[in-house]
Amino acid sequence: MDSKSTVVVTGFGPFRQHLVNSSWEAVKELSKRGLGKTIDLHIMQLPVVYQKAKEQVFKIWTTLQPLLTVHVGLASSAKAIIILEQCGKNKGYKEMDACGFHPEGGCCMLDGPEKIESTINMKTLWKNISVEGIDIIFSRDAGRYICDYTYYASLYYGNGRAAFIHVPPLSKSVTADSLGKALQTIILEMLKQCGEERE
């Protein structure tokens, strides 16, 4: 039997006015589609709670030891735009989470660098893909909330082998199915980059 590579993809649970979080809906659709025969895909919902999300990310890296972990989050301001995030930031977390907490000192990892870059080159990725009906952009600022915090923790624990994708809210033009398909396209392209690294 040939060994499969493990890929973990996470979405977030409900928060504030978002009773349905498009990130989790998109991830569920992705899991129906899968990432091909060579990839063992695990999906997981993270809570919009700093400490709990960080603990779950730590568990992902220590127990599943994936080739790549992709976190998907909701960008509530984004209209039919998917945002590929290049890096996570360590400090500046002042906004309260779903439990009314924010990290001590607004910091993710006390001994961590200011920011950590993904080993995935988002700019290259952005040039190589197109998704029907949805614009894709790339960014170097994941927004200093749970998304950015989770991303930083994952980059820290996973030595940069993490990626973050912001998806728009669901609407008539943006369905969970279309987002799931977009995630599949994007993550398969990310895996090509991982493959190039391994060869």
The residues annotated with a catalytic role in the active site are 85, 147, 166
User: Which among 83, 72, 80 has a CA at the least distance from the CA of 26?
Assistant: 72
Extract the tokens encoding 188.
């398969």
Distance between CA atoms of 72 and 164, rounded to whole angstroms?
6
Residue 150's CB is within 10 A of a number of other CB atoms, namely: 27
- Could you tell me where the DSSP H helices lie in the chain? 22-33, 50-59, 122-128, 146-157, 176-198
